[in-house]
Structure 1
Amino acid sequence: MNYYSKGEIRRERIKRMLAPQSAVFIGGASMIPAIDNCRARGFRGSIYVVNPRRSELAGIPCVPNVASLPEVPEVAFLAVPRENIVGVVKEISELGVAGAICNSAGFSEMHGGEKSQRELVEAAGEMPIIGPNCPGVANFADRSVFMMNYFGNHDENGSVALISNGGSYLSDLGCADRSLPVAYSVGLGNQAMITVADIMDVVLDDERIRAVNLYLEGIADAAVLSAAGLKAARRGVPVVVIKGGRTSAGRRATQSHTASLAGDDIVTSALFKRLGFVEVRTPTEALETLKMLVYAPRVKGRRTAYATDAGSYAVIGSDIAEVNGLDLPTPSAQAAAELEKYLPPFVRPANPLDISSGGEAGFDQNLNLYRAYLSDDRDMALQVMCYPPEGGWDPKSWDDTTRAFAQAARERQLPAAFVNTMPEALPRRVRERMIADGLVPLQGMEDGIRAVSNAMRSWELADVLSQRTAEEILLPRYRIGEAEEIAVDEAAAKAELGASGIAVPRSVVVTPDQTGRLDELNFPVAVKALSAGLAHKSELGAVVLGLGTPEEALQAVRAMAEKLKHSAPELSIRKFLVEEMVKDGLGELLLGIRRVDSMGLALTIGMGGTEAELLRDTATILLPASRAMIAEALCSLKLFPLLDGWRGRPKGDIEAVVDTIEKFTQFALSSEERFVEAEINPLIVRPRGQGAVAVDAVMRLARHR
């Protein structure tokens, strides 16, 4: 049996786990809430319970062992003590159970539990296990709920799949009173066998799913996640993601700026962008974004007509809208003239439009007002107000103005959303009416407006991915063996780059006593100390620039050698690089590539030289990357116009820069297992047609044991 057929068999087993015809619960009294929850949610299949010490559990007769089951269940829910779990898993695997949901804890999430988890996986064999240490699985769409606790009650019309490392996130979103149409809620726990990407791949086969939400605390295999991302992109299913535990680079590379300028959090964001995922910060932002994606038609641009009933909401909301990239164009003269017929005399046409007391004018007057306001060519209609809570003011005027807004937008076939400024106060009956009217009910001013922007971003990314090949989205699986990392000095690093076709300055390597061949160089030159452990030469006085003759270069080498004996004796520096200087540079770039655990190679492009860390004007993409993707990343730098003829400046050789970056990435990719990290800082950009030159480089390679 080949790898692919095994993979397909496993996918089919996971599908059976998510919508089984029969289930067995194995464990003790702690499972009673899970069994009750399963029945309360309407599971249609047979339920069995295995417990050797009890006659019944949750009203269901117990059988003493797995061998006594009257049939082979399709899924097993396990809440067995860790010391007994391996034997149980081996039994149900040999019995032919399609898969198991392991709620039992005490594995890799705890110190010393890794061995137990390996034994668990070994006992499972070909049977997939979700978990261990997971809350369970809920498929509300098919009434198949196997959760240790209550994770919400959703009907069979859900369209959102929630997939998470842990349970609290799922509980928060599943139990929120926000009208989120949840179909699947899957907690993966330790992901010993089944990952977030595996579940995502399976639920994407369900035509009912219109959006996926991922909560990740780690990415086990970016290649598998990229395959699921490609599937989502080709199916047109948006993905909203939260990455927990975002920190700077877990391992600082002392040899370069790249790790500090593109920490692991930035690389993770680059992965999400490559896959078209919309990254959000909080569970409530994720929740509101998902509602916008599943209830609103596709928004084709960012031109937004914003209406509210209070000046403060206009000011605060427009600030939030602008920060999040919404465009609020002013009404045209024709629309403004029509608006003035319906606005109170003290209100002027504007965007945001503050209707003030106009909300009390009744449905017909509001409809005329909004028809006038939405008569301009816009991409999105947005209404921001605060509904009275149940038992508060008479909601009639709010009902009239929101119904009128929804109808005016519907007549224009314009996507429309309502943002309640406070998240708590939007009653369910109002939300349901708005959804029926085509008005997306969003809760919380900042979360709501960000949700609108996030949905726009999702559709923009979808357009980009639709133009990319599968190879520009998928990531390879890199083979990483046990290796010793070795830093090489600048001369060796440049030799590697030069062999890859990257332009480097002509140079010679000398010692204080052997300085021949200096007269072969064109002056002026630079002198640099050579040592694999020398990261920042200028700080130690290990570089001198602008030397005009061989004699000056010789004096600089000897003076530098003497100085470094005292300032850096541990480096024992005896060799020096003397190289020709580039005299016609127009600007500098930093190029860095480093290997990131579980994700592969990440390329960072930024403004170079000593200002690199201060400016932090960088773009990061994952490799492999096409020439178009490289050019896009380069052009995204805020200061890129300085290299491209800004305000009459001479244009740099941008084509040569892209060529250099392509060759740099090809070097890293072709080096495969031995590549760890390399950086060019700076790459000097010369005038158009004259090329680009790597004038400094650091590199670390791997020597495999």
Structure 2
Amino acid sequence: MNYNSVRETRRERLKRMLVPQSAVFIGGASTVPAIDYCRARGFRGNIYIVNPRRDEVAGIPCVPNVRDLPEIPDVAFLAVPRENVVGVVRDLSGIGVAGAICNSSGFSEMRGGERSQRELVAAAGEMPIIGPNCPGVANFADRSVFMMDHFGVHDENGSVALISNGGSYLSDLGCADRSLPLAYSIGLGNQAMVTVADIMDVVLDDERIRAVNLYLEGIKDAAVLSAAALKAARKDIPVVVIKGGRTSAGRRATESHTASRAGDDIVTSALFKRLGFVEVRTPTEALETLKMLVYAPRMKGRRTAFATSSGSYAVLGGDIAEFNGLDLQPPSAEAAAQLEKYLPPFVHAANPLDISSGQSAGFDGNLNIYRAYLSDDRDVALSVMCFPPEGGWDPQTWNVTTKAFALAARERRMPAAFVNTLPEALPKSVRERMIADGLVPLQGMEDGIRAVSNAVRSSELADVLSQRTDEEILVPRYRTGLTEEIAFDEASAKAELGASGIAVPRSVVVTPDQTGRLDELDFPVVVKALGAGLARRSELGAVVLRLGTPDEAWQAVRSMAERLKKTSPKVSVSDFLVEEMVKDGVGEFLVGIRRVDGIGLALTIAMGGTEAELLRDTATILLPASRKTIAEALRSLKLFQLLDGWRGRAKGDVDAAVDVIQKFAQFAISNGERFVEAEINPLIVRPQGKGVAAVDAVMRLAW
């Protein structure tokens, strides 16, 4: 059976697990909460219990072992000691159960548990296992819930799928009083057999799903995840993602390497951007963003009409909105003139608009204010207030103004949201009424406003992906296995680059005793000590610039050799590179590519120079990448204008830089599993039309 056939068979079995006709729980007292929750959520199929030592569990008669089951269940929920799991899984696979959910722990999440997990996978055979060490699976939309405990009460009208490594995230979002329409809540634990991407691929086949939320603590296979992301993009289903366990350390963080400036967190963000995922920081931000995505029409832009009844919220909310990229254009003269007819005399037309006591003008008065305010061409209408909690002030005024705001936005066919400044003070009945009115109820001022911005970002990413080919979204699978790595010195690295069509300065390699061929070079030149592990050569005195004659170069080589023997006796240097200097550079880039485990090849571009290093002015994208994507990455750098004729400066040959970076990327891709990392530092950019030159390079390849 080939790879695609195996995946398709697993997909079908996972689908059966999500909508089973019968289920078996295997364990003792620890399964009671799961069984009770399953029945409480209305599971319609047969439920069986396997326990050799008990007559009943949760009021259901037990059978002593798997082989005694009266029918073959579609799904099994395991909560047994680790030492019993492998045998039970082997029995389940043997009778043809579609799949198992392994709640039991003590596997790869614990030191020494890797072997047990390998045995578990081997025992499962073709039967997929979700877990181990997972909370379970809930398909609320079909009343098929197999979770370790209570993960919220949800009806059959959900449209959001939560997919997570662990259970706490699912519990928090599932039990939150936020009106999130959950359809699926799936915890995958160790992902021994079934990954986040596998489940996402299956869930996307459900036509009820309108948004997906991923919580990831690691990425097992970016290639499989990218295939699921492509499916989401082509079905126009937005994906919101949180990455836990971030680190700023790169895979091989050496201070001299450009590629290591992009830590694994930055590379992961680059992956998400490529896949069209909206990345958020916290569970509550994810929750509010999901509501905005499923309850509001798709955003068309960032032009925002911001209304409130408080000067403080206008100031604070306006700051948050603009910081998150929303465009608060002032009302047009026509809209301002209309507004002045209905606003209190001491209130001026502005954006954000503080309607102040105009909130008490009754429904028609509020409707006139909002019709005038929304008469301009805007992309989204946003109301920010603090709704009184149940038992507080009479909510009538707030009900009136929010109904009027919703109607005015609906008349303009404009997405609209109400942001409650505090997350806990918006009653459920009010939220439900707002949703019915077409007004998205968001909770918490910062989370709510960020949710609106994230919804805009989701739309922008979707537009970008709709213009890209499948190949520009998918991430190739880079197989590894070669362990011996060779570090190239600068001369060898440049020879590899030169063979790939990348321009490097003319040079010769000499020793202190053999300095011939220097007269073949154009002067001035630079002398550099050669060594594969030689870092920070300038600090070691291993670089000398602007040598004007062959004799000066020869003397520099001899002096450098003697100096390194005394100051750095552990550094073995016998060869020296003498290279022509680029005399007409107008700027420089630093370009690095490295392999990131589980993701692939990451290309990082930075502006050169000490100022750029202080600013950490970098852009990271994943390979392969189109020429357009590389050019966009270059132009996204803060200091790019310095190479684009800023204040009368000479323009650099940016097109040539893009060509070279594309060749560099192709060099990395063509080396396949051999490629580890390489860097051009710097890539000197010459005036427009004169090209670029790679004047320093390092490289490591595997064998």
**TM-score under structure 1 length normalisation:** 0.99
Distance 1:16 1:686 in 2: 61
Distance 1:328 1:48 in 2: 59
Q: CA deviation at 1:486?
A: 2.1
Q: CA deviation at 1:311?
A: 0.7
Distance 2:482 2:515 in 1: 40
Match for residue 229 of structure 1? 229
Distance 1:681 1:160 in 2: 46
Counterpart amino acid of 1:471?
E
What SS does the aligned partner of 1:424 have? coil
Q: Please give the per-residue CA displacement for 1:318-338, whole angstroms capped at 9, x wherever unaligned.
A: 110111000000001111011
Distance 1:168 1:572 in 2: 54
Q: CA deviation at 1:655?
A: 1.3
Is residue 405 of structure 1 aligned with residue 412 of structure 2?
Answer: no
Q: Please give the per-residue CA displacement for 1:622-661, whole angstroms capped at 9, x wherever unaligned.
A: 1111111111111111111211222322221111111100
Distance 1:131 1:170 in 2: 15
* Equivalent pair of 2:259/2:593 in contact (CA under 8 Å): no
Distance 1:32 1:349 in 2: 61
What SS does the aligned partner of 2:10 have? helix
- Aligned counterparts, 1:375-394, within 5 A: 375-394=375-394
- 622-631 or 403-412, which deviates more: 622-631
- 614-623 or 603-612, which deviates more: 603-612
Match for residue 596 of structure 1? 596
Match for residue 455 of structure 2? 455
What SS does the aligned partner of 1:449 have? helix
Distance 1:174 1:255 in 2: 43
Q: CA deviation at 1:588?
A: 0.4
Match for residue 370 of structure 1? 370
Match for residue 271 of structure 1? 271
* Equivalent pair of 1:591/1:606 in contact (CA under 8 Å): yes
CA shift in 2, pair 1:406/1:255, >3 Å: closer
Distance 2:127 2:299 in 1: 43
What SS does the aligned partner of 1:391 have? coil
* Equivalent pair of 2:259/2:679 in contact (CA under 8 Å): no
Match for residue 10 of structure 1? 10
Counterpart amino acid of 1:87?
G
Counterpart amino acid of 1:363?
F
Is residue 262 of structure 1 aligned with residue 262 of structure 2?
Answer: yes
What SS does the aligned partner of 2:671 have? helix
Q: CA deviation at 1:484?
A: 1.8
* Equivalent pair of 1:238/1:458 in contact (CA under 8 Å): yes
Q: CA deviation at 1:15?
A: 0.3
Match for residue 490 of structure 1? 490
Is residue 177 of structure 1 aligned with residue 164 of structure 2?
Answer: no
Count of paired positions? 703
* Equivalent pair of 2:18/2:139 in contact (CA under 8 Å): yes
Q: CA deviation at 1:259?
A: 4.1
Q: CA deviation at 1:611?
A: 4.2
Q: Please give the per-residue CA displacement for 1:551-597, whole angstroms capped at 9, x wherever unaligned.
A: 11111111111111122111121211000001111100000000000
Match for residue 644 of structure 2? 644
Match for residue 572 of structure 2? 572
Q: CA deviation at 1:177?
A: 0.2
Distance 1:485 1:263 in 2: 21
Q: CA deviation at 1:251?
A: 2.8
* Equivalent pair of 1:85/1:120 in contact (CA under 8 Å): yes
What SS does the aligned partner of 2:606 have? strand
Gapped regions of structure 1 (runs ≥ 5): none
Q: CA deviation at 1:250?
A: 4.5
Q: CA deviation at 1:3?
A: 2.0
* Equivalent pair of 1:165/1:217 in contact (CA under 8 Å): yes
Distance 1:98 1:441 in 2: 40
Distance 1:245 1:236 in 2: 29
Q: CA deviation at 1:525?
A: 0.5
Match for residue 21 of structure 1? 21
Distance 1:259 1:77 in 2: 45
- 588-597 or 538-547, which deviates more: 538-547
Q: Please give the per-residue CA displacement for 1:474-527, whole angstroms capped at 9, x wherever unaligned.
A: 011111004122211110110110010000000001111111011100001011
CA shift in 2, pair 1:253/1:699, >3 Å: farther
Q: CA deviation at 1:667?
A: 0.6
Q: CA deviation at 1:340?
A: 0.6
Match for residue 513 of structure 2? 513
Match for residue 88 of structure 2? 88
Is residue 477 of structure 1 aligned with residue 463 of structure 2?
Answer: no
- Aligned counterparts, 1:68-87, within 5 A: 68-87=68-87
What SS does the aligned partner of 2:570 have? helix
Match for residue 633 of structure 2? 633
Distance 1:608 1:329 in 2: 37
CA shift in 2, pair 1:286/1:226, >3 Å: same
What SS does the aligned partner of 2:384 have? strand
- 434-443 or 625-634, which deviates more: 625-634
Q: Please give the per-residue CA displacement for 1:228-266, whole angstroms capped at 9, x wherever unaligned.
A: 000000000000000001111243343742243100000
Q: Please give the per-residue CA displacement for 1:404-444, whole angstroms capped at 9, x wherever unaligned.
A: 00000000111100000000000001100000000000000
- Aligned counterparts, 1:119-268, within 5 A: 119-254=119-254, 256-268=256-268
Match for residue 328 of structure 2? 328
What SS does the aligned partner of 2:342 have? coil
Match for residue 42 of structure 2? 42
What SS does the aligned partner of 2:566 have? helix
Q: Percent identity?
A: 83
Distance 1:138 1:676 in 2: 41
Counterpart amino acid of 1:189?
G
Counterpart amino acid of 1:62?
C
Q: Considering only aligned residues, what root-mean-square deviation do their CA atoms show, in Å?
A: 0.9
